[in-house]
A and B are shown apart, each in its own frame.
Chain A
């Protein structure tokens, strides 16, 4: 092994060891992707289930005006068991607002007469849509009223000696031909691409700040610069460390998603959340390249800062810039123009989603791969150029925020 690569590997090994001993970085690298993210995902799904179940179990407090005009309907409401009927007294609108009742059913005085006469009749359901229980009460009462209505219609048809099927001209029978695998792909398509790209950035973020600005703050960088390791060897070692951490985070987060996905998927019906080899073989290198691109950008930006804290100020805009296209990509439809696939981050999310949904569009794969390689190479080159500048690495006494500010650098370049 050449001396050059050997020094870079010495730096890589040291940075990885240092990272493993840093609780702050470990939290970002392991705790968040492996524990917190699945917990949030499972928690969200389970919370929705719990909320739906709990609404179904809730007893609706229903005030009824004119109950005496519809004994049949009232019997139906009472037999449900989840509806507690009370006579309307006082201002129902105010009671709905205060949550004293969940709904107010108003039955007209001619209700039963019209039903008996074979005519249509209407009941009014007052509810307050800003109250969860009230909105659920409307659904519950509507079901019972529909059920009652069907009974009335069925009886009328029987009187006319007609079958109830006479009402159904054409019935649509839905049949889902999607396989469990395809359903799993769709399910993963909403989760995996976004996490892959976000963790490619976040995974290495703290390590990048720690081994650049943090090293400057701890006054170890100057000693490092005085060793025979060249700036290129130093930046290579540090870059490899950040990229490695980011890739480990990606692997851990994807692993965590695959472990927890079946738990979430079970709530949504039978799905297969496995990943086929072809999809993985395209996604993994692109995710690794993205991690490398972000690693180089994070290192280049962080080194301008004189402290870890200052680096956070520089990295936050980069994070927002990187995450914005990812969020946009998650809501745009698949199969867009090839030109869209030159946008870093965005292209990966859309491409990953297409692949997970079994849409292999060659031009999208090629454009994404080519542009990601180009952006990664440019980012690494930029980071290497920044690390070759003495005024960025060493405080030359320019005063706070002067020698090190990226804005100051741009101003100097313009002059």
Chain B
């Protein structure tokens, strides 16, 4: 069953297309990669899927809900981790997560056990009561991840989740994504890290200058573009053979 469906999606800023005629699907229990250099349109696609901005043409559905007409249902179905990890600095890690749990409409009695579960999963218990202002990048990323999935959404979108993280923290994030797939979640992973993409993604879409230039499993993309691995194939797709 497809949890994310994007059909002929276009979004302009002024006269310029950030994304043009993009189509792809991502199924339940699948990690779907969105690859592309800076300015390829990955973040715009994520913003359209998360209803922060509306598409100009085409449509997209998340968990069966249209991003234009059912914005609240779409946002309830989604957990989004953005590239820039913004936390409320005067709030503790736990308070940051709890605030979002309440905004997602979780019952008060469900919040504490869910946060405990996520903090254990992400190995973040030690700093749960520390104010965000004193947290390291890795700690902040763990809080941001917990915040984005606190409501246990069926679809998770991670935009550069390992950016700026050390090896151990990156591994925690990768394990989290793998666990999410095991639990039947749909994960859209936007990343520059080709090794992570090749290892984790079941299927991929490669974007370049707002256009879809490749779509399929990592093996299919490597085979069609040529090269030893996904990184080679990506360079060939973006820069030409």
Chain A contact residues, CB within 8 Å of chain B:
3, 6-7, 10-11, 14, 17-18, 21-22, 218-230, 390, 393-394, 396-398
Chain B contact residues, CB within 8 Å of chain A:
13-14, 18, 47, 50-54, 71-72, 75-76, 78, 80, 82, 84-91, 99-100, 102-105, 144, 147-148
B75, A227: Cβ atoms under 8 Å?
yes
List 5 additional A-B contacts (Cβ < 8 Å) besides A219-B82, A220-B87, A222-B86. A6-B105, A11-B103, A218-B89, A222-B84, A393-B52
Instruction: Find chain A residues with CB under 8 A from B72 CB.
Output: 228, 230
B86, A220: Cβ atoms under 8 Å?
yes
Known: A228-B75, A390-B52. A396 touches B100 (CB 8 A): no
Known: A219-B82, A219-B85. A229 touches B103 (CB 8 A): yes
B86 touches which of A10, A223, A393, A398 (Cβ 8 Å): A223
Instruction: Find chain A residues with CB under 8 A from B53 CB.
Output: 390, 394, 396
Instruction: Find chain B residues with CB under 8 A from A219 CB.
Output: 82, 84-86
B104 touches which of A218, A221, A227 (Cβ 8 Å): A227
Closest 9 CB pairs of A and B: A219-B86, A220-B86, A219-B84, A227-B103, A21-B90, A10-B102, A390-B53, A226-B50, A228-B75
- Within the complex, the shortest CB–CB distance from B235 to chain A, in Å, comes to 25
A221, B86: Cβ atoms under 8 Å?
yes
Q: How far is the CA of A218 from the CA of B89 in the complex (A)?
A: 8
A227, B84: Cβ atoms under 8 Å?
no
Instruction: Find chain B residues with CB under 8 A from A17 CB.
Output: 91
Q: How far is the CA of A147 from the CA of B187 in the complex (A)?
A: 99
B86, A218: Cβ atoms under 8 Å?
yes
Pairs across A and B, CB under 8 Å, 13 listed? A6-B105, A7-B105, A18-B88, A21-B90, A219-B84, A221-B86, A222-B84, A223-B80, A226-B50, A228-B76, A393-B52, A397-B13, A398-B13
Instruction: Find chain A residues with CB under 8 A from B147 CB.
Output: 223
B82, A223: Cβ atoms under 8 Å?
yes
Known: A228-B75, A229-B103. A394 touches B47 (CB 8 A): yes
B105, A228: Cβ atoms under 8 Å?
yes
- Within the complex, the shortest CB–CB distance from B168 to chain A, in Å, comes to 24
- Within the complex, the shortest CB–CB distance from B190 to chain A, in Å, comes to 14
Instruction: Find chain A residues with CB under 8 A from B18 CB.
Output: 397
- Within the complex, the shortest CB–CB distance from B45 to chain A, in Å, comes to 13
Closest to B147 in A: A223
Which residue among A6, A7, A220, A227 has the maximum number of chain B CB atoms within 10 Å of its CB?
A: A227
- Within the complex, the shortest CB–CB distance from A53 to chain B, in Å, comes to 48
- Within the complex, the shortest CB–CB distance from B26 to chain A, in Å, comes to 18
A227 touches which of B86, B91, B100 (Cβ 8 Å): B100
- Within the complex, the shortest CB–CB distance from B205 to chain A, in Å, comes to 21
A218, B103: Cβ atoms under 8 Å?
no
A14 touches which of B54, B82, B99 (Cβ 8 Å): B99
A225, B99: Cβ atoms under 8 Å?
no
Instruction: Find chain B residues with CB under 8 A from A398 CB.
Output: 13-14
Q: How far is the CA of A218 from the CA of B96 in the complex (A)?
A: 13
Known: A228-B104, A230-B72. A222 touches B52 (CB 8 A): yes
Instruction: Find chain A residues with CB under 8 A from B52 CB.
Output: 222, 225-226, 390, 393-394
- Within the complex, the shortest CB–CB distance from B60 to chain A, in Å, comes to 14
Known: A3-B105, A228-B72. A22 touches B99 (CB 8 A): no
Which residue among B52, B53, B85, B87 has the maximum number of chain A CB atoms within 10 Å of its CB?
A: B52
